[in-house]
């Protein structure tokens, strides 16, 4: 069974909760993946993604960014003078993208 089909089969019915009821809308779908599917997805993402620690300039000093990042999608993206080039999504990212697009009712071209 493909990864995305496995994830959908493991999902419980989502129960969204708006975490910003006064200042906007941010919905948490806490039960989207079962604990087992979430663990499998995390392990796959850890192994499949080309994680990078970017270098940033802060107050004239060059420092490693305090996080690992990755960029996948159809378009380039620039922030903090760091250019992320388009890259094909790994299988697990693409599968999770399908799940998120279904929940959001919208398509996304990058993550």
> Is the pLDDT assigned to residue 64 strictly greater than 80?
yes
Cβ–Cβ < 8 Å for 60, 108: no
The model's pTM: 0.73
Over range 33-61, report the average pLDDT. Answer: 93
> Is the pLDDT assigned to residue 12 strictly greater than 70?
no
Element (H, E) at 62: strand 61-64
Element (H, E) at 79: strand 77-79
Over range 57-68, report the average pLDDT. Answer: 90
Provide the token pair at 83: 């250019």
* Closest C-alpha to 80, from 103, 54, 61: 54
Q: What's phi and psi for 61, nearest 5 deg?
A: -105, 145
Cα 29 → chain centroid: 14
State the chain's mean pLDDT as an integer.
85
pLDDT above 90: percentage of residues in the chain: 54
């Amino acid at each position: 069974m493909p990864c995305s089909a496995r994830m959908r089969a493991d999902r419980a019915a989502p129960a969204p909760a708006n975490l910003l009821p006064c200042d906007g809308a941010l919905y948490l779908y806490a039960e989207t993946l079962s604990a087992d599917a979430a663990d499998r997805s995390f392990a796959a993402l850890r192994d499949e993604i080309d994680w990078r620690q970017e270098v940033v300039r802060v107050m004239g000093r060059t420092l490693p960014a305090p996080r690992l990042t990755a960029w996948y999608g159809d378009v380039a993206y620039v922030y903090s003078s760091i250019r992320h080039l388009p890259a094909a999504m790994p299988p697990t990212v693409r599968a999770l993208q399908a799940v998120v697009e279904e929940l959001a009712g919208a398509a996304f071209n990058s993550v």
